[in-house]
Every structure is written in C-alpha cells, then in structure tokens.
Structure 1
Amino acid sequence: MTDGQLLIEFHLLDRQIVDIDGRMIGKVDDVELEPTGDGHYRVVALLTGGRVLAERVGGLLGRFLRWPRPGSLRITCDHVLEVGNHVTLSLHAEVLDLPPLESWLRRHVIGRIPGARHESQ
C-alpha cells in the first residue's frame, strides 16, 4: 500500500475479518465505494455474508448460494483498525449484528475447532 491506497482485490477481498480480540467475524465478500469527486473512489464499508457473496459470484452458483436467504453484515471503515494479512476491527464481535447463519456457524462449527477460541492466550 502506497500513499494510503488499497488494491481492493489484493488488500481486502476474501481477507479474514477479526474483532479486536482476534475472533473471526467472516471474510470480506465485497466493499462499498463512494466517489471522492476527483475521479477516485474511497472504501466506506466492508460487506460480508452469504447474500453479499452470492451477489458477487453471480450466475447459477450465486443463485444457489442465495437460496437459504442468508444475511449480510455492513462494517463501516471507521471500525477498521488495521489492514494486513487480515482485517482487524476496533470492535468486539458481540456488538455486531451477525447474520444468523454466521452466528450459528461460529457457535457450532468454528467454535469447536481446536485453537479457534485462542485458549492458549
């Protein structure tokens, strides 16, 4: 990243989003852009969730992914603490209104993976 510029496909899309404690929130499935007035755009929000991913993928696979009508989550950039090999938020996961499918997966699947809850820390 030079001069504060991000390459959306390289720095953001498909990066893991973690809360301030390092707990997984989801992946960046898309971004919301806003024109700056000088021919450039700035990222105003990160979008995650099944619905967002389905729209990004499109076609038959996108329709399949959209089938159970999973929710989505919009995280404004003022909550982004750091962008590196993952995106770190300045928030705790509990304050986010996670889509029901994401919440269920976190509790019943991801939470059961050894090391997923950072027990060693």
Structure 2
Amino acid sequence: MRVQLAKQLLDRQIVDVDGRLVGRVDDLGFAVDAEGVPYVDCLLSGHAALGRRVGGRIGRILVAVADRLTDQPPVPPRRIPLAVVDRVGSAVRLRCRAADLPPSPVESWLRQHLVDRIPGSARASG
C-alpha cells in the first residue's frame, strides 16, 4: 500500500483533544525498526522544522529567527509522538491536551520575554 505522507500530513493544523490549536505539521520525524524498515515516529512542528524542509535562503532565515528567539540555540523542532495522534482529517487531531506536550522553545521564549511583560497578562487564560 502506497501512502503519500506529504499530501496527507504536511501543513495540516494540529489540534488537541480540547480543540486548541497546537501548531502545524511542518515536517515528519522518521525512525528505523529492528529489521531496518523506516516508519514515521513523530510530527515535527515549528520554525526550525519548516526552515529545514523549505531549505535555501528562506529556510535558513526561518531557522535563524527561531534561534534568535530562544535562550539555547539551535532550536529543535517540537516533536509530537505519533502515538498521541487520534485521527487525520482536515486537521491532525490529538488524543491529549496541548499542555501535556513538550513546550515549543520559541513560544516559551516569547511568553517569558514578551507576553508576560504585558500588563494584565497574568489574568489572561492560557
């Protein structure tokens, strides 16, 4: 059976179990099983993943921007294990909450250095 992963997964929105937007599928992470057969291990999301997929000058700029917006470059892409994917349709639906996933390094940096400094931001729902 032939599956067109790029067509079925890339650029789809990722939505958690509560309907909150987590990000987009910017690339795919592969692993190899004991018999040498590759399989999709996780979904990759974020500027670093998209920049590497796009490549060229634009891709390098995306990766550089992500690296500037973090305290510890280089920024790894956000890895969402395939095990938490519930179904794939017009969006990729997860069976967990966004808060249960590893945080995006860029979003964490922006929250710490920008959003949290906005008066009243502590009262905003997260």
TM range (shorter): 0.7 to 0.9
Q: Specify which structure has the higher proportion of helix.
A: 2
The CA RMSD measured in Å over matched residues stands at: 2.5
1:94 maps to 2:99:
yes
Listed as ranges, the gaps of 5+ residues in structure 1 are 109-116
Q: Post-superposition shift, 1:55?
A: 0.6
Larger radius of gyration: 2
**TM-score of the pair, normalised by structure 1:** 0.72
> Secondary structure of 2:41's partner?
strand
Counterpart in the other structure of 1:52? 49
Distance verdict in 2 for CA 1:100–1:12, change over 3 Å: same
State the Cα distance separating 1:32 from its structure 2 match.
1.3
Given the two structures, how large is their TM-score scaled by the length of structure 2? Answer: 0.69
**TM-superposition CA deviations, 1:72-109 (whole Å, max 9, x none):** 2101111101111110111101122222434548xx6x
User: Measured at CA, do residues 83 and 101 of structure 1 come closer, stay the same or move farther in structure 2, by a change above 3 Å?
Assistant: same
* Residue 10 of structure 2, aligned match among 8, 13, 26: 13
From 77, 84, 89, the counterpart of 2:89:
84
